Amino acid sequence: MRRRLLTVLAAGVPLAAAVYLPTASAEPRSSTDATPLNCRTTPVKAPAGTEVESVTAVRRAGGVIKGTGVLGGEVSGVPAFCEVTVTLTHPGDGDHAKVTTWLPERGWNGRFQALGGSAFLAGDNGVGLGTAVKNGYAATTTDAGVKDAVDVSWALNSEGEVNKALLENFASRSQHEAAVVGKAVVASAYDKRASYSYFTGCSTGGRQGYAEAQRYPDDYDGILADAPAINWDEYVVATLWPQVVMNNEKTYPTGCELDAFTAAAVKACDKLDGARDGLVNDASRCDFDPRRLIGTKVECDGQELTVTAADAAVVRKIWDGPRTASGTKLWAGVPVGADLKGLAATVRSDDGTVKGNPFPVPAFWVSSWLKKDPSFDVSTITYSQFTQLFEQSQAEYDGIIGTDDPDLSGFRASGGKLLTWHGQADQFIPTQGTVRYRERVERETGGARKADDFYRLFLAPGTDHCGLNGQSGSADGLAALTAWVEHGKAPRTLPATLINADGEQVERNLCAYPAVSRYQGYGDLDAASSFRCVSPFRH
C-alpha cells in the first residue's frame, strides 16, 4: 500500500496500499547475452486443482512501460522481452486468473522474481515487472482473477454472497500458482531452471509474501515483504477507527490541525535517539499528549484556527487505537509521527458541512465483506458496532486472509530467507502489527537469535507507507536479500536514505529488530556513521 497513491489521494481520488516498485540490484549472472530468446508459446502444465485455459507469447520491444489501472506510473529503459500469459481456472469456480511472465530477450541474470499487488490489486501493474526485467530478472505476477486496486466489484456473487473462490485467489492461492507457472515458463524458455527465486512486494504484496512463507514454504529462496498487510482481518477494520472516532465525537479536525499535532509530537520525541535530527527513532516510545496543543493557534488556508479540547481528544483516541466500550485494546493506532490525514481525512461539501472521507480499503472491506452490502454507509458505525465488526472479521476471515500464522518452521527448513522493512510513520498499516508478529515468531521459534537465522525485520524512522521504494526515501532490500540467500551474508543493518521532518535527506543504517539506532554523541547528524545500533530501553 507507492507514493503515487498519495499523489492521487491529494487529487481527490483516495486509494489503498501502494504498488511495489523494487529498487532491485544484484550482481549480474548473465547467461543469455549471446543468443536472443526465442519468444514462443510452449505447453504449460496446470498446477494442482487448476486447468489451463490459454497460453500466449508476445515479443515486446521494451522502452517506456506505463503502468496500467488507477496506480499508473512508468519505468523507462526496459529492454526487449517476451511476455507469456497463462490463464488458469479452478473447475467449478468460474474464475479466470492470468499469470503473466516477462522474460528478458538478452542478459537474463539467472534469477526469477515474482511481484505482489497493492490494495485490492492482486499483482503488479507493469511498472514493477518492467523494473525487474531492466535489472535482468525473469519476472512473474498474477491478477488472481480479480480487478484493479480499488475495484471490489468481485467481492460478492450474483446472490449477494461473498465470492469465496476469488477471495481465496486473492488471499494466497493464485500467488502460489503463479510461482509454479512462472518458474515453469522460465525453465521452458531458457532451457534451464532459475538459479534462485525471489518474491517482492509491499503492503498487499508484503502480506502475500508472508502468505507464501507460511503456506507454501518451498516456493521461494528469498522473500522481500515490506510494510506487510498481515493480520488483515484485524488491521484492516482497525484502520477505519479514525473515521469512527470523528463521527461519534462529531469532531472533524482540519488537515492543518492534524499536521500541527503530528509536528508537535515529532518535535517532542525527536531526541529519544540522542539527537535532534527530525526523526522519531522509536515511535512506540513517544508519549506526547495531544492535550498540550489545546488553545494553540493554527494557520490554515488564510484562517486562524484554535485547537480545541475536542480536537485533542479525537487525536488521542486515534493514536491510542481502537478499544471496546469497556476499554479493552483491540489493535494499535496510527503511529505517532505518521500523517493523520491518511485515515482521518475529511471533505467539505458546498454548503460548508464537514464530514469524514474514509480510506477505501477498510471502507470496502466493511461494506462488502462484513455487511455484504456495497451501499452500506460506514459513517453510521457506533463504537459498539465497531467492536462487533472487528470480532466478526476475525471470526469469518482470519483463516482465509489473516496471514498471521507464526509457525514458519517449513520455510526455515527449506532454507528460505524473509526480509522486511516497515516505516515507523506508516499512515495506513500500523507498524506495531508487524512488530507483534515478529515477536510471536520469536516465541514460536525459540528466541530472537533463532528467528534471525531466517527472518529479519528493520524499522525505518520517519518513513511512511512503502516509503523506501524511492519516493520518500530508499533502501535496496533486494540486494540485501540476494546477498543473504546466495552468499550467506545475513544483514545486521540495512543502509537507507530517510527524509526527516524538514524534508532533508539523511543517511541511516536501519537496525535489525529489536535494536534501535542511537546517536553516538558526535559527528554529522546526516551521516549514518554517527549512529549505532543498541538494545532498546524496553524489550
Active site residues: 203, 426, 465
Neighbouring-strand partners of residue 78: 63
Q: What are the grid coordinates assigned to 233, written together? A: 482481518
Residue 52, classed as helix, strand or coil, is strand
Which H or E element spans position 260?
Answer: helix 255-269
Q: How far apart (Å, rounded) are the C-alpha atoms in residues 539 and 535?
A: 8
Q: How far apart (Å, rounded) are the C-alpha atoms in residues 360 and 464?
A: 18
Q: Name the pairing type of β-strands 297-300 and 303-306.
A: antiparallel
CB 174 within 8 A of CB 122: yes
Q: Which residues contact 385 (CB under 8 A, 6 or more apart)?
A: none
Neighbouring-strand partners of residue 75: 65
Q: Which residues contact 539 (CB under 8 A, 6 or more apart)?
A: 514
Q: Closest Cα to residue 204, out of 140, 332, 294, 116?
A: 116
Q: How far apart (Å, rounded) are the C-alpha atoms in residues 472 and 466?
A: 9
Q: How far apart (Å, rounded) are the C-alpha atoms in residues 138 and 134?
A: 10
Q: What are the grid coordinates assigned to 209, written together? A: 509474501
DSSP tag of 169: I
Q: How many CB atoms lie within 10 A of CB 526?
A: 14
Q: How far apart (Å, rounded) are the C-alpha atoms in residues 361 and 17?
A: 8
Q: How far apart (Å, rounded) are the C-alpha atoms in residues 381 and 516?
A: 39
Q: Name the pairing type of β-strands 138-142 and 111-115.
A: parallel
For residue 130, the number of C-alpha atoms closer than 13 Å in the C-beta half-sphere is 19
Residue 296 dihedral angles phi and psi, to the nearest 5°: -70, 140
For residue 408, the number of C-alpha atoms closer than 13 Å in the C-beta half-sphere is 31
Residue 514, preceding bond cis, omega within 30 degrees?
yes
CB 365 within 8 A of CB 356: no
CB 100 within 8 A of CB 81: no
Alpha helices, DSSP H, located in 137-173: 164-168
**Ramachandran class of 67: left when φ > 0, alpha when ψ lies in -120 to 50, beta otherwise:** beta
Alpha helices, DSSP H, located in 43-145: 127-134
What sign does the dihedral 17-20-21-24 (CA atoms) show?
A: positive
CB 5 within 8 A of CB 202: no
